[in-house]
Homo-oligomer: A and B are copies of this chain.
Amino acid sequence: METATLKNQASRFQELLEQRGLKCTYERKQIFDEVMHLREHFDADSLYERFKKRGLRISRDTVYRTLPLLLESGVVQKSAGAGHRDFFERIGIKGHHDHIICVKCGKIIEFQCEDIEKLQDKVCNDYGFKLSFHDHRLFGTCKECQ
């Protein structure tokens, strides 16, 4: 199951590269592999730092340019975190989910709502859009902070 997901996501990434006429470079493969090992949310710079620590010559810019490709191929999704960084996380076994964020204490809760996902598809369909990915964040006050 896990292996199936990995294979599936690898091929989806490959397919996107092909479709766009993008080359399957060493760096893109490394970034894909590294992301597949991450279990928590992350940002571009922390991913870059991991390569730096391992002594791999992958530039910050390449990381920044590759993440949108992983987004669009469904390997990662938008996530939530502190500050104004872009956060990502791998779409693993638990699958896609969205986030509720407490504006007081910063607590983040993940939620899954199949009905919302379906409605999103419908909305996009209505407008002739092909949905690629989305970013859905609910901001409010958690029970403890109210």
Contact with B along A61-83 (1 / 0, CB 8 A): 00000000000100000000000
Integer count of this chain's copies in the complex: 2
In the complex, what residues of B have CB within 8 A of residue A142's CB? 127-129
A130 vs B133: C-alpha distance in the bound complex, in angstroms? 26
A113 touches B109 (CB 8 A): no
Contact with B along A103-146 (1 / 0, CB 8 A): 10000010101011001100110111111111111111111001
* Residues on B with beta carbons closer than 8 Å to the beta carbon of A140: 124, 129-133
Question: Out of B103, B126, B129, B135, which one reaches A102, CB within 8 Å?
Answer: B129
Interface centre among A119, A124, A146, by most B CB within 10 Å?
Answer: A124
A6 on the B face (CB < 8 A): no
A100 within 8 A of B: yes
